[in-house]
Homo-oligomer: A and B are copies of this chain.
Amino acid sequence: MKAVVVGGGAAGMTAASRIRRLQPTWRVEVYEETPYVSHAPCGIPYFVEGLVRDKDELITYSPEFFRKKRKIEVFTNSKVLKIDHKAKKLTVLNSGREREVSYDKLIIATGAKPFIPNPKWLEVEKVFTIRHIEDGVSIRKRISKDKEVVVVGAGYIGIELSEALRKLGKRVTLVEAMDQIMPMFDKEVALDIEEYMSKRGVKIRKGEKVVDISQRRNGVLVETEKGSYKADSVILAIGVKPNVDLALMAGARRGETGAIYVDDRMWTGVEDLYAAGDNVEVLNLVTGRRSYMPLAPLANKEGFVAGDNVAGGSLRFPGAVGSAITKFYSLEIGITGISEANARKLGFKVKSVYISHSSKAHYYPGSKWIKVKLVVEEGSKRVLGGQIIGLEGVWGRISALAIAIQNEVKVSDLFFADIPYAPPFSPVLDPLIVAARVAR
């Protein structure tokens, strides 16, 4: 039996490893377009900053590791051009040569690619996207002497890049088409983030959609609906969209989000064809709808489930609530579930609270500010989402809240969440508990 995985990122390599684990005698092959597998795109902003010095540090395991330790045949620099799923054959391009590869079972884990409103912008010198390790290498090398950088897109990557660029001493203009930064957050939270970023020297231009990016004599000109910005370089971080072409070619279909549809076994509905990672949509446990969540931990788990089912297991991916976190300098920024604005758009009746508190007991030195927003469904009192920002302690509180939301906890029960207390770690009534008490 032979299982083939297309794409060697988090989902693909986890899937391949799971198959190997359950089926020691199968042949398992992975085809990856870039020179790397098991890479960590989330680390690229920290590589650009120089905090991660060597690009190789961003590779969790080398192709050699998989070949030798896990007996997985990894083919890098190998682009899959065609899939004939009826004949169970791939056409692979490597070093200018095409070859055919047969398989019994196929997992498509082709991930996502940056959303580019106009492909011509990328022809302009020193306009970058940021997705692959090479993008990071290229940016770090080519912007080193730049003074003025425009970042387009104020989502997670845009914010992480802004920090990296400020730390490198660049002047940074962050341009966002929506009327707030971090559009997955509610406006009042986004404003707090914006205020913090502005104080640290990021020029934020929101509500300005980029209409053109063009080469000028001394750099690049970014034109928006409202103004124009001259820069030495421009980085596009507008978001990603799923790489669906190969999966569609194999016979999979798109779901309502535009990403590949899979069931909770990561099965596309086509025999022996599975998909996992940033190219698929998953069930959003808060909304009950299918949702596109291109997040690394989910990709990993989806890969695990896909591999498990391909290899004869019966693991099911229950869905996710959409937890994410980032930071800008010392400001930690986290979200789980859905925002109030999103909830209302989806027809939920909600109330919300947004409270300020401190991260430790008031008398313990070094306590920091932290703010918690809770979104609660009226009637059912179910917690639908939370947004937390602050100078410490955000990750843990988002994690706790994520598990509460995943278990459909009511806000009155969240008040009774038995989270631990000691003065160096939290106030006796934790910010989460206080928010729940207010929102009851």
A10 CA / B361 CA spacing, docked (Å): 14
Q: Range of interface residues on chain A?
A: 35 or more
The interface-forming segment of A23-31, A77-85, A321-329 is: A321-329
A288 contacts B by Cβ under 8 Å: no
A262-317 interface (Cβ within 8 A of B): 285, 295-298, 300-301, 304, 317
Does the CB pair B400–A402 fall under 8 Å? yes
Q: Is the CB of B423 within 8 A of A40?
A: yes
Of the residues B46, B58, B300, B420, contact of A323 by C-beta under 8 Å: B420
Closest to A394 in B: B425
Contact B421 A297, beta carbon cutoff 8 Å: yes
Say yes or no for A364: interface residue by CB 8 A criterion.
yes
Indicate if the CB atoms of A429 and B40 lie closer than 8 Å.
no
Collect the chain B residues with CB atoms within 8 Å of residue A42's CB. Answer: 361, 421-423, 428
**Complexed CA–CA distance, A419 and B300 (Å):** 13
Q: Is A180 an interface residue (CB 8 A)?
A: no
> Which chain A residues numbered 384 to 409 have a C-beta less than 8 Å away from chain B?
393, 395-400, 402-404, 406-407, 409
A432 to B297, CA, bound (A): 12
- The answer, among B40, B156, B430, for a CB contact under 8 Å with A297, is B430
Q: Measured between C-beta atoms, what is the minimum distance from A1 to chain B in Å?
A: 24
User: CB of A320 within 8 A of chain B?
Assistant: yes
Measured in the bound complex, the distance between the Cα atoms of B425 and A29 in whole Å is 33
Contact between B364 and A46 (Cβ–Cβ < 8 Å)?
Answer: yes
Picked from B52, B320, B422, B424, the residue with its CB within 8 Å of the CB of A418 is: B320
Tell me the bound Cα distance from A12 to B60 in angstroms: 53
In the complex, which residues 350-401 of chain A have their Cβ closer than 8 Å to any Cβ of chain B? 361-365, 393, 395-400
Please determine whether A361 and B40 come into contact, CB atoms closer than 8 angstroms. Answer: yes
- Shortest A388–chain B CB gap in Å is 10
Number of identical monomers bound together in the oligomeric complex: 2
A239 contacts across to B, CB distance below 8 A:
none
Residues of B within 8 A of A393 (CB): 395-396
The reply to whether the CB of A6 lies closer than 8 angstroms to some CB of chain B is: no
Option from B317, B421, B430 in Cβ contact (under 8 Å) with A416? B317
The answer, yes or no, to whether A201 is at the interface (CB within 8 Å) is no
A417 in the interface, Cβ–Cβ < 8 Å?
yes
Q: Within 8 Å CB of A365, what residues of B? A: 51-52
CB contacts (< 8 Å) of A51 on chain B: these are: 364-365
Contacts of A361 on B, CB cut-off 8 Å? Answer: 40, 42-43
Asked whether A415 is an interface residue with its Cβ less than 8 Å from the other chain, the reply is yes
The smallest beta-carbon distance between A319 and chain B, in angstroms, is 8
**Min C-beta distance of A16 to chain B, whole Å:** 16
A418/B321 contact (C-beta < 8 A), A395-B393, A428-B297 known:
yes
Residue with the highest number of chain B CB atoms closer than 10 Å, among A361, A364, A422: A422
A263 to chain B, nearest CB (A): 15
A361 and B430 alpha carbons, distance in the complex (Å)? 27
- Chain B residues lying within 8 Å of A426, measured Cβ to Cβ, are 395
Q: For window 100-121 of chain A, which residues contact chain B by CB distance below 8 Å?
A: none
Question: Which of the listed residues A361, A403, A418, A420 has the most CB atoms from chain B within 10 Å of its own CB?
Answer: A418
B297 and A58 contacting across the interface, CB-CB below 8 Å: no
Contacts of A301 in B (CB 8 A): 415-416, 433
Q: Are B424 and A402 closer than 8 Å at their CB atoms?
A: no
A35 lies within 8 A of chain B by Cβ: no
B-chain residues with CB within 8 Å of residue A424 when the two chains form the complex: 46, 327
Check A396 against B403 for contact (C-beta < 8 Å): no
Beyond known contacts A301-B433, A403-B418: 11 more, CB 8 A cutoff: A40-B361, A42-B422, A60-B362, A297-B418, A398-B420, A399-B419, A399-B420, A399-B432, A402-B417, A403-B409, A407-B409
**Could you list 17 examples of A-B contacts with CB < 8 Å?**
A40-B361, A46-B364, A51-B365, A295-B421, A300-B429, A317-B416, A322-B418, A324-B420, A325-B421, A327-B422, A395-B420, A396-B397, A396-B400, A402-B420, A403-B417, A407-B407, A407-B409
